[in-house]
Structure 1
Amino acid sequence: MGLALQLGEPTGQGWTQILELAIALVLSAAIGLERELRNKSAGLRTHTLIGFASALMMLVSKYGFTDVLGDHVVLDPSRVAAQIVSGIGFIGAGLIFVRRDAVRGLTTAAAVWVTTAVGMAAGAGLPVLAGAATIGYFIVVFAFPWLTSWLPDGRQLSRFVQVTYEDGRGLLREIVSTCTKRGWTVVELTTRRVEPAPVDALVDSGGDGGPRHAPGVRPVSVMLELRGSIDHEELISDLNNLYGVLSVAASDLGPDPDS
């Protein structure tokens, strides 16, 4: 160390620091591999580079300025570490996006923060803490979904229901009323005209034996965004039983179990 200072070179360029970089590389790659296998937007390479770079910056923060130390120079090694925490927020924010009030990417963004912390711990010479944090990460991502599956689900799911019906029967009000009676909240609805298919005969409703619609009727399609925490099968059945409803299709956009 004394010789290095006499030569005007920073210390901290030995096998110990290389080992710390290697630990950061392996642990962050393990986290990235889990994200990669789940086909997330930030995978193996992104997490590995983040953890590796965090460890390197920690080492630079610790040893990179030893050649300028003197009686009139005082350094704060924690400043670089603090900037790592601030800077990684830009990457995390870029992984989060919102689609119709459903947030995606939160877990992956959190994984980036954990990977950064693991790399920083390894670079700071705390390999035991880095390893423990990595184990904790895998406990959260693998054990917690099983745990939450046993909890009562009170989350509000968003479900999209497309109903095609005969125009001119005042069915839209009845459709909305049916949804609300079943405990769903209508968040948004959009209607559009549908070109009627060429039909040469009346179509059987399948319920009471009467005709559901006649040739030449003008079908209208309404897309309903519904929100609730209940099963939608009974709602679909009720909508199908409305006289004048031609078809009902549903798709969900609920909370991502691993967003």
Structure 2
Amino acid sequence: MVLALPFGEPTGQSWLQIGELGVALVLSAAIGLERELRQKSAGLRTHTLIGFGAALFMLVSKYGFTDVLGDHVVLDPSRVAAQIVSGIGFIGGGLIFVRRDAVRGLTTAAAVWLTTAVGMAAGAGLPVLAAVATVGYFVVVFAFPLLTVRLSGSRTQSRFIQVTYEDGRGLLRDIVSTCTRRGWTIAELTTRHVEREPVDALVDGGRGRLREAVVRPVSVLLELRGAADHEELVTDLNNVHGVLSVAASNPDLDPDA
């Protein structure tokens, strides 16, 4: 059964093409959901729109010019596909940034690039190929990290911890020393001041007056790499005099991958 619309050129506007758009929508949304759950900068909506739009561009390229074709008009549908590949580079490039010597967003940019290919395959009438590519994506993002650990022969891992401590006491040196003594390598370190109300009061020089002593907390986010015990490190950091709190931090919340 062909879905004939009362306007425009009916070729390419059947349930088949609508189904191809639906395949692109579902598969790209599956990839986007994984990125959304990891709280990456490009998530469910972005990936879904990219894959869905790529499929639509492919369908327009295949069927959108049938009304002008003739003996003297020849079109190359592959040219639109090539422009999609070029255009998606601008979106992917916007997801990659460098902070100090750390590059962020490469995996998310690659996921956007693959989602575009999945949408193009669905729009080109290759739903099986699009589905296999989507399965391949999940194999890469879930199975490959485990494989990498096994091949490396170690349990080297990355950990993010956030330490809040009292400013002006030289505690950062002690914090770094504690981490390295426990066998961790510091890959990145970011500090920021934290607003906090006065928490103490001291007697002012025997004159019987109280003056407020303001503790100015500083928060430092540490990216640690190594195979040591993470819980023991947290315990040691909590025992450093002047450290106010130690908490595990989610690396996906820090601008990702």
TM over 0.5: yes
Question: What SS is found at the alignment partner of 1:144?
Answer: helix
Match of 1:197 in 2: 200
Q: How many residues align?
A: 232
Shift of 1:135: 1.4
Cα distance in structure 2, aligned partners of 1:191 and 1:19: 54
8 A Cα contact 1:178 1:235, kept in partner: no
Shift of 1:133: 0.6
* Alpha-carbon distance change, 220 to 43 in structure 1, aligned in 2, over 3 angstroms: closer
* Alpha-carbon distance change, 144 to 196 in structure 1, aligned in 2, over 3 angstroms: same
RMSD: 4.5
Match of 1:12 in 2: 12
Amino acid at match of 1:60: V
Matched, 1:86 2:86: yes
Q: Equivalent residues in 2 for 1:16-165 (5 A)? A: 16-96=16-96, 103-148=103-148, 150=150, 151=152, 152-154=154-156, 161-164=163-166
Amino acid at match of 1:12: G
* Alpha-carbon distance change, 153 to 74 in structure 1, aligned in 2, over 3 angstroms: farther
Cα distance in structure 1, aligned partners of 2:19 and 2:238: 65
8 A Cα contact 1:59 1:124, kept in partner: yes
8 A Cα contact 1:21 1:122, kept in partner: yes
* Alpha-carbon distance change, 38 to 226 in structure 1, aligned in 2, over 3 angstroms: closer
8 A Cα contact 1:23 1:122, kept in partner: yes
Amino acid at match of 1:30: A
Amino acid at match of 1:125: G
8 A Cα contact 2:192 2:219, kept in partner: yes
Amino acid at match of 1:89: G
Question: What SS is found at the alignment partner of 1:229?
Answer: strand
In structure 1, the gaps of 5 or more residues are: 1-7, 201-215
Q: What is the TM-score normalised by the length of structure 1?
A: 0.62
Cα distance in structure 2, aligned partners of 1:103 and 1:161: 23
Between the two proteins, what is the percent identity of the paired residues?
A: 60
Residues 20-65 of structure 1 show CA distances to partners (whole Å, capped at 9, x for unaligned) of 2222222223323333444444443332222221111111112222
In structure 2, the gaps of 5 or more residues are: 1-7, 204-211
Matched, 1:247 2:250: no
The worse-fitting range, judged by mean Cα deviation, of 13-22 and 127-136 is: 13-22
Amino acid at match of 2:200: A
8 A Cα contact 1:23 1:127, kept in partner: yes
* Alpha-carbon distance change, 50 to 223 in structure 1, aligned in 2, over 3 angstroms: closer
